[in-house]
A and B are shown apart, each in its own frame.
Chain A
Amino acid sequence: MSVVTHQSLFLYNFNLEINLPMSQMTRRDFIKKTLLTGSAATGVALGLRPQPIRGLSDFADIEPEQVSPLTLHEASYYEKLPNLGIKCTLEPRQCVINEGERGYCGARENRGGVYYTLVYEHACAAYPEPIERHHFYHLLPGKKALAIGTAGCNLRCRFCETWPISQSRPEDIPSEKLSADDVVERALAEDCQAIIFAYNEPTIYFEYMLDIAKETKRAGLITASQTAGYIYPEPLKEICEYLDAINVDLKGFTKEYYQKNCGVKVQLERILDAIKIINQSYSILEITNLVVPELNDNPQLISDMSVWIRENIGTDVPLHFARFFPNYQLAKHYATPLETLEKAYDIAKNAGLQYVYLDNVGKHKATSTYCPKCGETLIQRSESKVDIVGMKNGQCMNCEHKIAGVW
């Protein structure tokens, strides 16, 4: 067969060009050269700087983005200890920090016996995004919000989907110097109707969050926050005054799950108490549960969770089951099967919850809002499209049932 010669010829070429020189080259040179020959040989560029595939990014010519220098802003919620030590009283971890050290979150530092936050006015992310993207379905549906986040987090979830931001230290990732005024200004300029604290745990930029929230309220916009609920009651109550909506990430329903996968030794009750506090406050509450296959998809736990919500919070709190996509330390795991999510949906519905949603599932009927009384479709969601079809002034157009939320 003539094909065979052809093939061996190419084999020879292949060896000559790429494999042989490798011995005299460093890995870096080799990769550079391969990249260069690759793009030169074709002469057709993508209109971008040539970028390697994932995994080779360290060797690419990526211009470093600006990391703005750290600034200090005194933290709230800490106690002074003897010998310049301090104790953080923001959340139940209660870090005891010696002079010159940082808390577990990496965003707060003790300098000379005074506790400072390093991320005040250092936003790592400030992007206009659809509100639904942050698991708020009963808050200004279809509108845009400015989502804010900084570096650092007081949890270490193995499945964190925003890990490039939350699991970095402030000096390691690019950030933008944005005062509370700037944030509000940007929100208005981007046509956003709300500001959402998201990406990392807002608790760790408490002071920044509080100032932005106050400023936002003054400008007449809506404020909302995501949180894991791992925070002490006092700071929580203080911030609740300024938040219109809070979405609590209830990660699992056992202490062991939190300990193994989120890096916190916490009594589950603490998180549940935080949820109760939010429920009693002025902000509206939504709850999100990220379903990770094999880790927290046990139907019994999902049922326990739904029953707890019904008994302690009420049946009209929206519960979201979010689909997990492999990420961070679970990058080799698999995504949540749709069947698992559908099962969870049924369990929660059967437990009596009125608003149950599936998130991150694209086109699915369980992403829409239905009237709990007459079953009419109120808000139709399909991928990124949101249509308010059966609702007016927060009421079902069919049976006038009042729907909980900010509309």
Chain B
Amino acid sequence: MEKEINRREFIQWTFAAASFCLAARGIAAPVYRGKDDPTRALRDLPFKKDVHLTEARYYRAIGSMVQCVLCPEYCMLKDGEIGRCRVRLNKNRKLYSAVYGQPCSLALHPIEQGPIFHVYPGIRCLAIATAGCNLRCKYCQNWQMSQFGADETQNYDLSPKSVVQMALDNNCEAVVCTYTEPIVYAEYAMDVAKEAKRLGLKSIFVTAGYIDQEPMKEIGECFDVVRIDLKGFTEKFYEKIVGGRLKPVLMALETAYKTSAWVEVVTLLVPNFNDSEEEISALSKWIAEHLSPDVPLHLLRFFPAYKMRNFPPTPENILQLAREAARNAGLKFVYIGNWPGNNAEHTYCPNCKRRIIQRVSYLAVVENNIVDGRCKFCGTAIPGRWS
């Protein structure tokens, strides 16, 4: 059975993690809310004064208009109009990206913060993000960046080459495109991933999966890891809270799973909106059937943010019930996130049930009993990318 850690152990680990944090400055706290973007850890970089445009891919001209076919919004843009994501625009029958090479946020953190648990545990990553998002989640944690255009954020000037160089300079082993929605800067993200691969770094794509199949396929081939949000399992939730649609996300998930990338899925449970046992159970069944029971599912605790500040955080028992439902539906690796110190943030062997990776929240891996991709105790192969 799952081993409990007692209070004393927990405090010990928290302490250890805290000092670890101090030592490695730049490993940011996982949850933040407030006006400033606290993820900006590399402060001395100069900001860029203006926005420059780079021709985008995934579009087609239709008369004087342009249709962007990158995400399921398929924006039809008149001359001079900007897409829903606020960073792609039609200028003279061409679609331009206003964020290529211009991230607005850079930070260093361990891969666990993704949350990504089955890939190279503990490696240090350089996270980048640009302005813009094609969704409108009412509980967005990064709305300071995601809900603004490139002309409203302060941006750095970083070509894909410099991003990777910066990662190397900061002893990172991976580059992760995260925080906002990397889909809206897909061209940039893919160039970063290619450059990272060339220099032997891993690349990670953290997305809500609201993307057309074709770019998803290409991204899956470029990146080592694709971590996708499945934010709920009803069209209503997607329409009312997320501002998108469920169907294209499911299609993107299947597409991503078929590529060479490792896929993990995240669901944030908003109390009374998408946390019913039936919904989680249906969602997990879908994952088990259409992807695989080996796909790790992270159930995240909701914290009040952005337009949902007056809603309470997800109760702990709901998280546990949801986890049970997901496991009963057949998933082998179900984690609970945003709840430091809970027992479901560790990895347990599906066979001998022993704890094989012990984590402290998203901050650190304190024990890793996976040897050559297998459980040290019973030899069962654990799905993931371990070395």
Q: Which residues of A contact B (CB under 8 A)?
A: 3-4, 6-11, 38-39, 41-42, 44-49, 51-54, 57, 62, 124-125, 127, 129, 133, 149, 161-162, 164-165, 199, 325-327, 331-332, 334-335, 337-338, 360-363, 383
Bound-state CA distance A127–B214 (Å) is 27
Bound-state CA distance A10–B35 (Å) is 7
> Would A47 and B89 be within 8 Å (CB), given that A199-B63, A334-B247 are in contact?
no
Q: Are A362 and B214 in contact (CB under 8 A)?
A: yes
Contacts of A149 in B (CB 8 A): 63
Contacts of A3 in B (CB 8 A): 32-34
Q: Mark B88-108, 1 if CB is under 8 A from A, else 0.
A: 010101000010000000000
Check if B74 is an interface residue, CB within 8 A of chain A: yes
Q: Are A47 and B61 in contact (CB under 8 A)?
A: no
Within 8 A of A (CB), among B303-329: 309
> Would A48 and B80 be within 8 Å (CB), given that A10-B35, A199-B63 are in contact?
yes
Number of A-B contacts (CB under 8 A): 118
The one of B63, B151, B255, B309 in contact with A39, judged by C-beta atoms closer than 8 angstroms, is: B151
Q: Are B33 and A325 in contact (CB under 8 A)?
A: no
Bound-state CA distance A338–B213 (Å) is 7
Within 8 A of A (CB), among B47-106: 49-51, 53, 57-58, 60-65, 67, 69, 72, 74-78, 80-84, 86, 89, 91, 93, 98
Q: Which partner residue on chain A sits nearest B144 by CB separation?
A: A10
The one of A44, A48, A53 in contact with B86, judged by C-beta atoms closer than 8 angstroms, is: A53
Bound-state CA distance A199–B84 (Å) is 25
Q: Mark B271-315, 1 if CB is under 8 A from A, else 0.
A: 000000000000000000000000000000000000001000000
Within 8 A of A (CB), among B185-240: 212-214, 217-218
**Distance in Å: Cβ of A226 to nearest Cβ of chain B:** 13
Interface size on B, residues (CB 8 A): 49
Q: Are A164 and B76 in contact (CB under 8 A)?
A: yes
**Distance in Å: Cβ of B260 to nearest Cβ of chain A:** 16
Bound-state CA distance A362–B219 (Å) is 14
Bound-state CA distance A383–B187 (Å) is 14
Check if B251 is an interface residue, CB within 8 A of chain A: yes
Q: Which partner residue on chain A sits nearest B48 by CB separation?
A: A44
Within 8 A of A (CB), among B35-54: 35, 49-51, 53
> Would A125 and B63 be within 8 Å (CB), given that A42-B152, A54-B84 are in contact?
yes
Q: Are B51 and A46 in contact (CB under 8 A)?
A: yes
Max chain A Cβ within 10 angstroms of own Cβ: one of B53, B63, B78: B63
Q: Are B80 and A51 in contact (CB under 8 A)?
A: yes
**Distance in Å: Cβ of A304 to nearest Cβ of chain B:** 27
Q: List 5 A-B contacts (CB under 8 A).
A: A3-B33, A6-B33, A47-B51, A51-B80, A334-B251
- Name the 6 nearest CB pairs between A and B, nearest first: A6-B34, A125-B63, A44-B151, A10-B35, A42-B152, A362-B214
Q: Which residues of B contact A (CB under 8 A)?
A: 32-35, 49-51, 53, 57-58, 60-65, 67, 69, 72, 74-78, 80-84, 86, 89, 91, 93, 98, 149-152, 212-214, 217-218, 245, 247-248, 251, 255, 309
Contacts of B213 in A (CB 8 A): 335, 337-338
Q: Are A62 and B80 in contact (CB under 8 A)?
A: yes
Q: Are A335 and B72 in contact (CB under 8 A)?
A: yes
**Distance in Å: Cβ of A405 to nearest Cβ of chain B:** 23
Q: Are B74 and A53 in contact (CB under 8 A)?
A: no
The one of B49, B58, B62, B251 in contact with A164, judged by C-beta atoms closer than 8 angstroms, is: B62
Contacts of A331 in B (CB 8 A): 74
Q: Which partner residue on chain A sits nearest B75 by CB separation?
A: A54
**Distance in Å: Cβ of A17 to nearest Cβ of chain B:** 13
Contacts of A53 in B (CB 8 A): 82-84, 86
**Distance in Å: Cβ of B337 to nearest Cβ of chain A:** 18
Q: Are A334 and B248 in contact (CB under 8 A)?
A: yes
Q: Are B89 and A48 in contact (CB under 8 A)?
A: yes
**Distance in Å: Cβ of A317 to nearest Cβ of chain B:** 25
Q: Are B214 and A338 in contact (CB under 8 A)?
A: yes
Contacts of A7 in B (CB 8 A): 33-35, 309
**Distance in Å: Cβ of A4 to nearest Cβ of chain B:** 8
Contacts of A4 in B (CB 8 A): 33
Contacts of A164 in B (CB 8 A): 62-63, 65, 76
The one of B34, B50, B60, B91 in contact with A10, judged by C-beta atoms closer than 8 angstroms, is: B34
**Distance in Å: Cβ of B320 to nearest Cβ of chain A:** 24
Q: Which partner residue on chain B sits nearest A364 by CB separation?
A: B214
Q: Are A45 and B64 in contact (CB under 8 A)?
A: no
Bound-state CA distance A149–B50 (Å) is 38
Q: Are B63 and A46 in contact (CB under 8 A)?
A: no
Contacts of B247 in A (CB 8 A): 334
Bound-state CA distance A10–B305 (Å) is 11
Contacts of A133 in B (CB 8 A): 60
Bound-state CA distance A331–B91 (Å) is 23
**Distance in Å: Cβ of B291 to nearest Cβ of chain A:** 15
Q: Are B33 and A337 in contact (CB under 8 A)?
A: no
Q: Are A161 and B67 in contact (CB under 8 A)?
A: yes
Contacts of B34 in A (CB 8 A): 3, 6-7, 10
> Would A11 and B309 be within 8 Å (CB), given that A6-B34, A62-B78, A338-B213 are in contact?
yes
Bound-state CA distance A35–B84 (Å) is 15
> Would A161 and B62 be within 8 Å (CB), given that A44-B49, A46-B98 are in contact?
yes
Q: Which partner residue on chain B sits nearest A9 by CB separation?
A: B35
**Distance in Å: Cβ of B151 to nearest Cβ of chain A:** 5
Q: Which partner residue on chain B sits nearest A174 by CB separation?
A: B64
**Distance in Å: Cβ of A95 to nearest Cβ of chain B:** 26
Bound-state CA distance A327–B62 (Å) is 12
Q: Are A363 and B218 in contact (CB under 8 A)?
A: yes
Bound-state CA distance A10–B72 (Å) is 32
Q: Which partner residue on chain B sits nearest A43 by CB separation?
A: B151
Bound-state CA distance A343–B228 (Å) is 27
Bound-state CA distance A133–B86 (Å) is 27
Contacts of B86 in A (CB 8 A): 53
Can you name 4 extra interface pairs (CB under 8 A) apart from A46-B51, A337-B213? A44-B151, A51-B82, A52-B82, A335-B212
